[in-house]
Amino acid sequence: MSRRRDAGDYPTPPGIAGVLATEALRELTPDAAGGVLRILDPACGEGNLLLAAAACHSAHHGAELIGVEMDPGRAVRARHALADASRGGATIVCSDALLRPHPLRDGTFDVVIANPPFLSPTSRRGAIPATTRAQLRARLGPGVAALTNIATIFLLDSLRLVRPGGRVGMILPSSFLTSRDATGARAQVLAEGTLEWLWTDGEGVFDAAVTVCGVVITRAGRPHTTIRRSAGRHAAATGTAVFRPAAHAAGEPWRDGVHRTAPSSAGIIGDLTTPIAGFRRHYYAVTAALSDAPSGPGMRVVTAGLIDPGRVLWGTIPARLSHRRWEHPRVDTDTLRSAGRVSAWLDAVTGPKAMLATQTRVLECAVDPLGDLVPSVPVIALPASADRAWLIAAALCSPHLSRLAFDRHRGAALSPDAIKLSASEAADLPIPPRTAPWELAAVALADAAAAPDATGWRDALLRMAHHMDDAYGAPGAADTHTWWAERLPRFKTGNAGAPPG
């Protein structure tokens, strides 16, 4: 292992430093009238982050730059680098910042910006003597636990160093977002501040072995549920995301999935329809009234297996229901209604609708424009006029919502690789603004539904996916797109004989 890696020591690339500084300083003005911003980097290395802060700030105001660096050689180089950086002046202190050398005092900085060392307490260099850890815990609270990474300790300490309304912008190992050892620290951060911005690297910007993230937190900020997101090796802005402080404070990981939320969401699926998932009794009532007939009276029954993205496969492939194979499952509605306690459900799911399968590798939604199909439990029915049903289905079939649902509800399905949604979870998924790309996506999905072969179907789905990316305004969605395309089911061809009646 190289010395640099052993020291948990990865200098911040200039591009990332610039984005972090911009986000930390965004719209921040000095606390006192006529003052300059006091900006601290408690692990400043050769001064990269302070230089970035000075560069993005100097156009507006002066700033006083303070750096702390333990390594004497780097401290000297930082002094040189920063000599002329800011008209507010620069001070570099060669010391251990966690020992709080002068001038590090609580509440006296407007901004702390840092890329602290990433050292696990189980590593030789990361081990903090028990007495020091106890002192840090006494000063910083229960977020400092036996296995807390040094980077997390810098974060907790920095939140104390800034004034209320001041900001901490920090690069951290991405394990901070999810690891159980950091649960207490994450809760403490949300008790003391508000998350404003989150960057997830995901590409090994610093080193293939370490993935990192970046956070900006306002001390004692007003809690809110929308954060700004950046992703990838250049920390490109990807829009906003929903962040639920209460759930996250209660221990839910600040998981990667937050960045998948629609950059330009204009509401939720539940604004367009009320999704309906039947219950066990509906399933049994339907299976008790089934017959197998290509044509004739009775409504066609659609199982999850008979739905592929855009396509209803009734009559094309057989269904499995009640431990049996049915080539053309139909239900006699009079018998069904006589079963009692299912009429209201039958009325609600009869009529034009979108239908969403569950336990699938991507969200698979198709449309029943004429309204004469009965969804078998657990298919979710989304009643809406035919035009609207195609829009709903296009949104649900988008790579973006598959990824979002996969991230949000990972682990709920029988298979860890499948997506399982309840009706209310489907209702909670975001929709894009009603724009031309969304309409084009709906048309492309209808093309997929009518496609006679695998090529036509897949081409139409890919067109639908691109239009939906445009509709959601999801820049940098290429990885999601590839993930989704690889998970699409194969095109199924007929073996069940006669066309639907």
Ligand X SMILES: C[S@@+](CC[C@H](N)C(=O)[O-])C[C@H]1O[C@@H](n2cnc3c(N)ncnc32)[C@H](O)[C@@H]1O
Binding site for ligand X (CB under 6 A): 9-12, 41-45, 48-49, 68-71, 74, 96-98, 115-117
> Parallel, antiparallel, or unpaired: how do β-strands 162-173 and 109-114 relate?
parallel
Residues 361/487, Cβ–Cβ less than 8 Å: yes
User: What's the min distance (Å) between Cβ of 183 and ligand X?
Assistant: 24
Smaller CB distance to ligand X: residue 3 or 280? 3
Q: How far apart are the first and last CA of the chain?
A: 69
Q: Which is nearer to ligand X, 173 or 193 (CB)?
A: 173
Provide the angle, in degrees to the nearest 10, between the axes of the packed helices 183-192 and 150-161. Answer: 10
Least distance in angstroms from the C-beta of 190 to ligand X: 25
Please check whether residue 85 is in contact with residue 65, taking contact to mean a CB–CB distance below 8 angstroms. Answer: yes
Q: Which is nearer to ligand X, 49 or 401 (CB)?
A: 49
Q: CA 76 to CA 330: how far, in whole Å?
A: 81
Instruction: Name the residue nearer to ligand X (CB basis): 11 or 369.
Output: 11
Listing DSSP states for 337-358 in one string gives HHTSS-HHHHHHHSSSEEEE--
SS3 428: coil
Q: What is the CA radius of gyration of the chain?
A: 28
> Which DSSP letter does residue 473 get?
T
Calculate the CA dihedral of residues 133, 139, 142, 145 and round it to 10 degrees.
-10
- Length of the chain measured in residues: 501
Nearest to 465 by CA among 448, 489, 452, 453: 448
| 3-class state of residue 429 by DSSP | coil
* Closer residue to ligand X, CB minimum distance, 72 or 416: 72
Tell me how far, at minimum, the Cβ of 149 lies from ligand X, in Å.
Answer: 12
User: Min. distance of Cβ 116 from ligand X in angstroms?
Assistant: 6
Q: Which residue is nearest to ligand X (CB)?
A: 45
Nearer to ligand X, 17 or 319 (CB): 17
Closest CB to ligand X among residues 74, 481:
74
- Least distance to ligand X from the beta carbon of 29, Å? 24
Q: Which of residues 97 and 301 has its CB atom nearest to ligand X in the complex?
A: 97
Angle at 441 between CA 439 and CA 443, to 5 degrees: 75
Shortest spacing between CB 122 and ligand X, in angstroms:
17
Work out the angle between the directed axes of helices 454-472 and 478-487 (0-180°, nearest 10): 150
What's the min distance (Å) between Cβ of 208 and ligand X? 17
- Quote the least distance from Cβ 243 to ligand X, whole Å: 25
Contact in structure between 213 and 174 (CB atoms under 8 Å): yes
